[in-house]
Amino acid sequence: MQIDVRPTTAPRPRPTGPLGFGTHFTDHVFHMDYVDGKGWNDARIEPYGPISLDPAASVLHYAQVVFEGMKAFKGADGAIRLFRPDAHAARLARSCQKLRIATVEPAHAVEAISRVVAQDADWVPDASTGGALYIRPFVYATEAFLGVRPAKAYTFSIILCPVGAYYERGFAPVRIWVEREKVRAVKGGVGDAKTAGNYAASLSAAADAKARGYDQVLWTDAHEHERIEEVGTMNLFVAFDDEIVTPPLEGTILGGITRDSVITLLKDRGENIVERNVTLTEVRQAQASGRLREVFGTGTAAVVSPVGVLGFEDGDLTVGDGKPGRLAVELHDELTAIQRGDRPDPHGWLRTV
């Protein structure tokens, strides 16, 4: 792929103090345009800055936009490694297809990601900080047209943000509100695509949960509100005494790449990991009978996030002793060590930039 590189002549100020998440952006951005009949064209890396969009651009009206979230890590050896870029590029293509957006070839997406990360390599936080470079590829409809149909013009962009260690104040369990009224996705909808509308639709329940003193929402199925689906930006795992369960990919939840990686690591350990539906009743009964070992979420941002409390209308269910479970701690440490290049990578998940 031909990529035109126009390096910045005015480097952006480097962040001082804590990086946080998603507030600082690097010097460069990748863009590539699409128009029906011509295909993808004009791949370029240019200085980071505002874009111009026609006020009638269909993304602003009908939300034809999909995105990815992935990371690059700097190892103690100084090398920069992308974690599972092929899996992220393949998911981006699936999300595009679902929203009738012009598909970005996975090989082109991976190349564009590698090139823009290489351009801003000196923005990747050092291994010693525990930070990483968060990568946000996204594809959006730019055609100026108010009719309702798939647009004929799109842009694929990639922005990068250095982020701090997720657990700056220790590996803390989260408090999760079990949502049994509002719904994130239904079968036949777009719950399994990484698309902006799913997030817009989640904000009200998330804000209510915050107001009640919880960190995030656990979505349940749209019909009985009994089966566990996923948490805001994470997939969920429930460890019983004899099996570890995570809900199956049946169209309403996002197939997390961290979820897939954790399933693989659990299989490597010889654990009994099962993809099946799990109900709230089952979790509450397991808690009552002492069969509930731990609950944790998985996602690119936190990697593995222990759940300390599940909040119900009739009170809180404290998981175990409310402290991070052994599996969550071990899986978090194992996966982050692989990502940093501190452990072997038997599944070929890393790609050096």
Ligand X SMILES: *Cc1c(COP(=O)(O)O)cnc(C)c1O
The answer to whether residue 332 forms part of the interface with ligand X (CB under 6 A) is no
- Count the residues of the shown chain that bind ligand X, applying the rule CB under 6 A: 14
Question: Which segment (207-215, 296-304, 314-322, 344-352) binds ligand X by CB under 6 A?
Answer: 296-304
Task: Give the nearest distance from C-beta 149 to ligand X in angstroms.
Answer: 26
Give 113-148 as a DSSP string.
HHHHHHHTGGGSPPGGGT-EEEEEEEEEE--B--SS
Task: Give the nearest distance from C-beta 185 to ligand X in angstroms.
Answer: 9
Element (H, E) at 111: helix 106-119
Question: Which segment (148-156, 242-250, 278-286, 293-301) binds ligand X by CB under 6 A?
Answer: 293-301
Q: Which of 26, 216, 252, 300 binds ligand X (CB under 6 A)?
A: 300
Distance of CA 130 to the CA centre of its chain: 18
Cβ closer to ligand X: 57 or 217?
217
Q: Which of 11, 15, 47, 69 binds ligand X (CB under 6 A)?
A: 69
Cβ closer to ligand X: 45 or 234?
234
The answer to whether residue 71 forms part of the interface with ligand X (CB under 6 A) is no
- Find all residues with CB under 8 Å of 91, minimum gap 6, and list them: 68, 194, 255, 257
Q: Which long-range contacts (CB under 8 A, 24 or more apart) does 340-349 make?
A: 340/73, 340/74, 340/75, 340/76, 340/81, 340/127, 341/73, 341/75, 341/76, 341/77, 341/79, 341/81, 342/75, 342/76, 346/268, 347/261, 347/264, 349/83, 349/84, 349/261
Task: Give the nearest distance from C-beta 266 to ligand X in angstroms.
Answer: 15
Q: Which of 259, 293, 332, 340 binds ligand X (CB under 6 A)?
A: 259
The answer to whether residue 195 forms part of the interface with ligand X (CB under 6 A) is no
Q: Which of 194, 227, 293, 332 binds ligand X (CB under 6 A)?
A: 194
Cβ closer to ligand X: 6 or 187?
187
- Find all residues with CB under 8 Å of 199, minimum gap 6, and list them: none
Task: Give the nearest distance from C-beta 303 to ligand X in angstroms.
Answer: 9
The answer to whether residue 142 forms part of the interface with ligand X (CB under 6 A) is no
Sort 340 into a burial class: Cβ within 10 Å, 0-12 / 13-18 / 19+: buried
Q: Residue 28 forms beta bridges with which residues?
A: 47
Cβ closer to ligand X: 36 or 345?
345
Cβ closer to ligand X: 81 or 259?
259
155 to 184, contacts with ligand X by CB under 6 A? none
Q: Which of 258, 305, 336, 339 binds ligand X (CB under 6 A)?
A: 258
The residue count of the chain comes to: 353
Task: Give the nearest distance from C-beta 16 to ligand X in angstroms.
Answer: 28
Give 168-201 as a DSSP string.
TT--PPEEEEEESSS-S--TTSSTTS-BHHHHHT
Element (H, E) at 262: helix 257-268
Task: Give the nearest distance from C-beta 281 to ligand X in angstroms.
Answer: 24
Question: Which segment (22-30, 159-167, 256-264, 270-278) binds ligand X by CB under 6 A?
Answer: 256-264
x/- map, 214-253, ligand X, by CB under 6 A: ----------------x--xxx------------------
Of 226, 227, 223, 177, nearest in space to 202 by CA: 177
Cβ closer to ligand X: 145 or 199?
199
Backbone torsions φ then ψ of 313, nearest 5 degrees: -55, -35
Question: Which segment (119-127, 167-175, 238-246, 257-265) binds ligand X by CB under 6 A?
Answer: 257-265
Whole-number Å distance between alpha carbons of 165 and 238? 25
Q: Residue 195 forms beta bridges with which residues?
A: 66
Binding stretches for ligand X (CB under 6 A): 69, 194, 230, 233-235, 254, 256-259, 298-300
